[in-house]
């Protein structure tokens, strides 16, 4: 944590704890994300990366700790106020989570229609603009999510996340399930969108190539705690045993996978 930026962090998490029954998932997470930077959180399956994002988004209620956004603790705000703060966060879900009862353009424009009360024809135009930003033509707007390939679904989901120009973007495993080329395409789109919007980004992944492409900084979560944080460029050579085992995919090391034999 010695590299922590001096400016007021966009997101500041302190002592965040979350357990499901006896299973402790987050055990005192401390993490700072500086404004207009991209933070990549890496870690094995089931280490609490998605739970961390869901706590920040208000989809799960933490047991303890604080989550400050722009210096204000959202866990201690009035509900309406916290919702207004969180409304400025865009989210790309792991499986896209597109609404399959709506055509693509309505998926993309959903946040605009919900938040800004724009007319439908105006929202349609805006959706087509955003689809173009992720490399999709206007004709895609009339398709249904089930008609799209995995890569196209991710692009539409990205378009939905950026459509209302949020100042913070969260990405949950953005390249999972994609081939390496499409993964790189999505990563580049993410970097491009984050830069164009001037947003702060937090991505969780266990794809090392993706982590290096997206992130300015990186943090590793293990056993419910942040065990390392540093520049994303140092991921493969961090000098931390836990990070090295994970990034190099070694079987032997301090991380013991729980396998039943």
Compare residues 156 and 218 and give the one whose CB is closer to other proteins.
Answer: 156
Compute the least distance from the CB of residue 55 to other proteins, in Å. 12
Q: Say how far apart CA 111 and CA 109 lie, in whole Å.
A: 6
CA 108 to each of CA 103, 124, 129, 172: distance values in angstroms, whole numbers, following the listed order: 9, 9, 10, 18
Per-residue x/- mask for other proteins, residues 35 to 64, rule CB under 8 A?
Answer: -------------------x--xxx-----
CB 226 within 8 A of CB 235: no
Task: Please name which of 62, 66, 75, 58 lies closest in space to residue 12, comparing C-alpha atoms.
Answer: 66
Task: Give helix 150-162 / helix 120-133 axis angle, nearest 10°.
Answer: 120
In the window 88-117, what residues touch other proteins (CB under 8 A)?
Answer: 89-91, 93-95, 97-101, 110-111, 114-115
The answer to the question of residue 142 lying near other proteins (CB under 8 A) is no
Q: How far is the CB of 253 from other proteins (least distance, A)?
A: 32
* # chain residues binding other proteins, by CB under 8 A: 23
Residue 118 CB contacts under 8 Å (≥ 6 apart), including other chains: 109, 112, 126
Do 179 and 23 touch, CB atoms closer than 8 A?
no
Closer residue to other proteins in complex, CB, 113/218:
113
Pick out residues in 188-217 that bind other proteins (CB under 8 A): none
Interface residue list for other proteins (CB under 8 A) = 54, 57-59, 83, 86-87, 89-91, 93-95, 97-101, 110-111, 114-115, 160
């Amino acid at each position: 944590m010695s590299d922590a930026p001096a400016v007021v962090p966009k997101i500041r998490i302190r002592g965040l704890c979350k357990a499901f029954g006896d299973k402790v998932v987050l055990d005192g997470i401390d993490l700072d994300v500086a404004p207009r930077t991209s933070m990549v959180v890496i870690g094995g399956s089931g280490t609490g990366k998605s739970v961390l994002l869901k706590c920040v988004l208000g989809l799960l209620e933490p047991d303890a700790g604080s989550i400050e956004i722009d210096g204000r603790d959202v866990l201690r705000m009035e509900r309406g106020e916290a919702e207004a703060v969180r409304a400025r966060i865009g989210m790309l879900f792991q499986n896209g989570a597109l609404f399959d009862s709506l055509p693509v353009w309505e998926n993309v424009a959903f946040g605009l229609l919900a938040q800004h009360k724009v007319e439908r024809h105006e929202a349609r135009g805006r959706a087509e603009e955003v689809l173009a930003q992720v490399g999709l033509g206007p004709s895609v707007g009339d398709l249904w999510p089930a008609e799209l390939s995995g890569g196209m679904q991710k692009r539409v989901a990205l378009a939905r996340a950026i459509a209302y120009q949020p100042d913070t973007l969260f990405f949950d495993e953005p390249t999972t399930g994609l081939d390496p080329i499409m993964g790189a395409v999505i990563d580049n789109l993410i970097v491009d969108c984050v830069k164009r919007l001037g947003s702060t980004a937090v991505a969780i992944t266990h794809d090392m190539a993706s982590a290096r492409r997206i992130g300015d900084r990186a943090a590793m979560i293990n056993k419910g705690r942040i065990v390392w944080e540093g520049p994303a460029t140092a991921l493969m050579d961090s000098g931390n045993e836990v990070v090295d085992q994970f990034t190099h995919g070694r079987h032997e090391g301090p991380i013991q996978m729980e396998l039943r034999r």
